[in-house]
Chain A
Amino acid sequence: MKSLLNVTKLTKTYGNIKACNNITFELYPGQVLGIVGESGSGKSTLLNSIGNNLLIDSGEVIYVNQKNQVLNIKQIPESQHRKLTKTEWGFVRQNPRDGLRMNVTAGANIAERLLDVGVRHYGNIRQEAAYWLEQVEIDTNRMDDFPHTFSGGMQQRLQLARVLVTKPRLIFMDEPTGGLDVSVQARLLDLLRSLVRNLNLSVILVTHDLGVVRLLAHRLLVMKNGSIVESGLTDRVLDDPQHFYTQQLVSATLVP
């Protein structure tokens, strides 16, 4: 099977901080890759270096798009990159304020991605929006309500619906369950798991919660001080950690 994304020797510095140091990994279609590590280890920087047009110091990011074209992400024109982030890619943020427009209705939040790709039929847009609200288990009679009237868990699910409506292939998630109650987290995780499977999504999932990666991630990268210290199948890494840092991380957490 051909990989969807290839990251090679990616380095990103802020002054003399190496936020990402020589990062190499690949991601296959339908795969969920977890990235764990303590605060400041460079997880978000890595995600933004790939998915958010952040300037990097060196390295290569190769993505194979829907048309099977091999794109060198750091060299394509900005317009093409922005297009990708609105169509084949999607971002789910920890803070829904960063991933949603809070001043327009839930339906409009989903509609926007369709409008971005040129859909101009109101009725069809409404239908699509309703369908995706159902998929993320939000009652469709909340479609014309504002996101700020939604609970934290609902706002995260709305972010998902907004992203899924353009049928993306690759989703970036940065702490999607952060700040949610445990029971709400569990419901979101179950939903994510079934969506990932049913839609054959590839996901890069950043979290510091080992319980979340245990449930969702096929593979795991463990980061510390900007570098990958260990990687492998999730169960292998969590059950039999090789690196001292990973061992610390696992023993510090009650793994379910």
Chain B
Amino acid sequence: MTQTKSTNNQPNASTESGFNFAYLDEQTKRSLRRAILKAVAIPGHQIPFSSREMPMSYGWGTGGIQVTASVIGKPDTLKVIDQGADDTTNAVNIRRFFAKVCGINTTEKTSEATLIQTRHRIPETPLKEGQTIVYQVPMPEPLFVIEPSRTEAAKMHALEEYGSMYVKLYEDITNFGHIATAYDYPVMVNERYLMKPSPIPRFDNPKMNNNPALQLFGAGREKRIYAVPPYTKVKSLDFQDYPFNIEKWDNKACKFCGSTDSYLDEVVTDNQGTRMWICSDTDYCHHQQKSGIDS
């Protein structure tokens, strides 16, 4: 999303004919942008929107795709990742889709992207001012685990009644000796709204805090949009005597780049069960390998 973006993009030569720019019609995009503006104005608060049919099913991240479609402009450079990788089927398809219906540039480099759509990870390379990251959200309501009624959950948000959310953490510590939630770890945004960060590993939670980029969250099936504006406080829930902490890989380094501070995936390499650890963020890993050679 860049400052100079025009809201009335005419399809150009490089765009697939028969489609409006970014697939959605202008009216739909405007209504999505209104929801996004509200979401930015109330950090962490879920805003309902009328989700459109997209040419792919819900599991593919239609919420994130609609958000991306409504904020993308011609000058944008788009990066799409799935579990940290740019080359998975999901990521490739979404990237192709936007290249086709927008005629925009795409990239695999985090530093070159103005817009990043993601499923399950935040890039290791720190985001910058002016960048926007769009998360695909399967299930937006953090209170659902304890309060299945949407009306009651809305009331709890309105009255900032989040005590019962800590019951889950209490039970975790009681049963496992530590907070066991590994993905989609709930956070407080701007000291006001409880928010689910989508199923990113809790390793990524600290990256949301005070991030210079705009963070947008789209849930297609549940028809909700929410946002964390740049430089907003995002705090993971914890107890004073059981502070939040992130996963650590003791004495493990990425097999390819040697990184010890990125999120590592465990990969089984043969039938004997030989294992290795590699960066989940492929762009970061390439960059680390290159700078390793350069230096």
Give A residues with C-beta under 8 Å from B.
78-79, 82, 86, 101, 104-105, 107-108, 111-113, 115-118, 120-123, 125, 144
Contact B240 A104 (CB under 8 A): no
| Selected A-B contacts with CB under 8 Å, 25 pairs | A82-B159, A101-B167, A104-B167, A105-B171, A107-B174, A108-B170, A108-B171, A108-B174, A111-B166, A111-B167, A112-B163, A112-B167, A115-B164, A115-B167, A116-B161, A118-B163, A120-B240, A121-B239, A121-B240, A121-B241, A122-B240, A122-B241, A125-B170, A144-B174, A144-B175
- Asked if B267 is at the interface of the complex by the 8 Å CB criterion, the answer is no
Partner of B239, one of A104, A108, A122: A122
A193 to B161, CA, bound (A): 33
Closest 3 CB pairs of A and B: A116-B163, A115-B163, A115-B166
Contacting residues, chain B, for A118 (C-beta < 8 A): 163
Contact B161 A82 (CB under 8 A): yes
Contacting residues, chain B, for A82 (C-beta < 8 A): 159, 161
Contacting residues, chain A, for B161 (C-beta < 8 A): 82, 116
Q: Which of B165-185 contact A (CB under 8 A)?
A: 166-167, 170-171, 173-175
Contacting residues, chain A, for B159 (C-beta < 8 A): 78-79, 82
Partner of A117, one of B163, B170, B239, B240: B163
Contact A120 B239 (CB under 8 A): yes
Contact B239 A105 (CB under 8 A): no
A72 to B171, CA, bound (A): 37
Main secondary structure of the interface of B (DSSP, over half): helix
- Asked if B242 is at the interface of the complex by the 8 Å CB criterion, the answer is yes
> A123's closest neighbor in chain B, by CB?
B241
Contacting residues, chain A, for B174 (C-beta < 8 A): 105, 107-108, 144
Contact A111 B170 (CB under 8 A): yes
Contacting residues, chain B, for A144 (C-beta < 8 A): 174-175
- Min CB distance, B135 to chain A, in Å? 27
- Min CB distance, A146 to chain B, in Å? 10
Contacting residues, chain B, for A79 (C-beta < 8 A): 159
Q: Which of B160-214 contact A (CB under 8 A)?
A: 161, 163-164, 166-167, 170-171, 173-175
* Also in contact, A116 and B170, with CB within 8 A (given A78-B159, A122-B241, A123-B241): no
- Min CB distance, B168 to chain A, in Å? 8
A interface footprint on B83-119 (CB within 8 Å = 1, 0 otherwise): 0000000000000000000000000000000000000
Give B residues with C-beta under 8 Å from A.
159, 161, 163-164, 166-167, 170-171, 173-175, 238-242
* Also in contact, A104 and B241, with CB within 8 A (given A115-B164, A116-B164, A117-B163): no
> B156's closest neighbor in chain A, by CB?
A82
A108 to B239, CA, bound (A): 14
A107 to B241, CA, bound (A): 17
- Min CB distance, A123 to chain B, in Å? 5
- Min CB distance, A81 to chain B, in Å? 10
- Min CB distance, B120 to chain A, in Å? 28
* Also in contact, A122 and B173, with CB within 8 A (given A78-B159, A79-B159, A82-B159): yes
A144 to B174, CA, bound (A): 7
> B169's closest neighbor in chain A, by CB?
A122
Contacting residues, chain A, for B239 (C-beta < 8 A): 120-122
A232 to B175, CA, bound (A): 51
Contacting residues, chain B, for A78 (C-beta < 8 A): 159
Partner of B164, one of A112, A117, A120, A121: A112
Contacting residues, chain B, for A86 (C-beta < 8 A): 163
> A126's closest neighbor in chain B, by CB?
B174
* Also in contact, A108 and B242, with CB within 8 A (given A79-B159, A82-B159, A122-B173): no
- Min CB distance, A234 to chain B, in Å? 37
Contact B171 A120 (CB under 8 A): no
A104 to B171, CA, bound (A): 7
> B242's closest neighbor in chain A, by CB?
A122
A82 to B167, CA, bound (A): 18
A141 to B11, CA, bound (A): 70
Contacting residues, chain A, for B240 (C-beta < 8 A): 120-122
> A125's closest neighbor in chain B, by CB?
B170
Contacting residues, chain B, for A104 (C-beta < 8 A): 167, 171
Known: A120-B166, A120-B240, A122-B242. 4 other contacts (CB 8 A): A78-B159, A115-B164, A116-B161, A118-B163
A121 to B173, CA, bound (A): 12
A120 to B173, CA, bound (A): 13
Contacting residues, chain B, for A111 (C-beta < 8 A): 166-167, 170
A62 to B243, CA, bound (A): 42
A121 to B239, CA, bound (A): 5
Interface core residue of B173, B238, B239, B242 (most chain A CB under 10 Å): B239
A101 to B146, CA, bound (A): 10
